Amino acid sequence: MTQKRNLKDVLGRIINVIPEEDKLSNDLKSFLGDLEFKSPEVINFFWREGETKIYLRCPDLNNAPSWYITVLEIWSGKI
């Protein structure tokens, strides 16, 4: 059985590995802040929006910074 993941927790872990100066860090912090005003019942609908923000940051994985690979691993539930 797969354990249910919490979007706020996942985003918090991701934000911790992104360099502060990267735009993705600010985008996800803002997104996370917006989630605070959503009811728990609708937060699951926001997984796709978070995914879009993350995947658009670096569509070419061959040129991705090493921290970005860690972000993808957290997002996918590998770590």
pTM for the full predicted model: 0.87
What's the CA gap between 46 and 48, in Å, rounded? 5
Here the tokens at position 67 are 């921290």
What's the CA gap between 52 and 47, in Å, rounded? 9
pLDDT in tens, 17-71: 999 999 999 999 999 998 888 888 888 789 989 999 999 999 899 999 999 999 9
